[in-house]
Amino acid sequence: MLNREDMLELTRRMNLARNCFFRIAGSYRDKEGYDDGSFNTAFLKLGQRDKIKYIEIAKSVVFAKTNEELKEYDFQGKEALEMKRMLNSLKDCGLKNDALLDVFYDIMSERYIKAYKPETDFGIFMYYGSYDIKIKGADKEYMDDSEEVYSFLICAICPVYEDYDPGVPDHGFLYPSFKDRSEDAEHIAVLGLMF
């Protein structure tokens, strides 16, 4: 099960002052799933307004009600293991492989349309970031040293309105899952959409 404190620890690093994101990529889709444009850029190259907007989208995936809306799943079955390999490849390249991202968007778009039949256009947004996990002392205070660097992907699927303006995500995930203040590569934390 996911620990709410772990998720809150991650979201504290999702703000302008302590931004944990290196890269953001996205694909805009019409309600039939056809590609309507995409982007892939360093997160710091976004304007301040866009940084704030996209940070809020990512946070809403991780900040969802733990073990109610945001649930942990393991990778069972051939299709799930193929998705895990793809996610590892996307994480390893830091979202810099557009061809692999296009395949990922097509798969996610197909699953989303099949399961939810969206009434509006939608966007699939991918984030690559990392968090330098600080050591916690016996008094629960953070020390200057770090235990581990947790590299992760966040995916958010949002309705998109006029001028490519994304709304609040209704589906998404955090991979690898973050459990006991550490990476858990055997699990994925999923909001809404199941694998």
Whether the model clears a pTM of 0.75, i.e. scores above it, the answer is yes
Q: Kindly report the backbone phi and psi dihedral angles of residue 166, in degrees, each rounded to the nearest multiple of 5, phi listed first.
A: -75, 145
Write out pLDDT tens, residues 35-56: 999 999 999 999 999 999 999 9
Tell me, what's the pLDDT at 147? Answer: 74
Query: Is 123 inside any structural domain?
Result: yes
Note the pLDDT of residue 148: 85
Per residue in 134-165, pLDDT tens?
A: 776 555 555 566 678 999 999 999 999 988 99
Q: What is the pLDDT of residues 64-122, one digit of tens each?
A: 999 899 999 999 889 899 999 999 999 999 999 999 999 999 999 999 999 888 999 99
| Predicted pLDDT at 141 | 59
Assigned domain for 26 exists: yes
Specify if 56 maps to a domain. Answer: yes
- Give residue 55's domain range: 4-11+22-191
Quick one: which of 156, 151, 183, 161 has its CA closest to 171?
A: 156
Predicted pLDDT at 94: 98
- How many domains are there within the chain? 1
110 occurs within a structural domain: yes
9 vs 144 pLDDT, higher one: 9
Residue 95 lies in a domain: yes
> Does residue 182 sit within a domain?
yes
In a domain, 17, yes or no: no
Is 16 within a domain?
A: no
Class of residue 86 by CB neighbours under 10 A (exposed 0-12, middle 13-18, buried 19+): middle
Question: Where does the pLDDT of residue 195 fall: very low under 50, low under 70, confident under 90, or very high at 90 and above?
Answer: low
Give me the pLDDT at residue 104, please: 97
What pLDDT score does 146 carry? 64
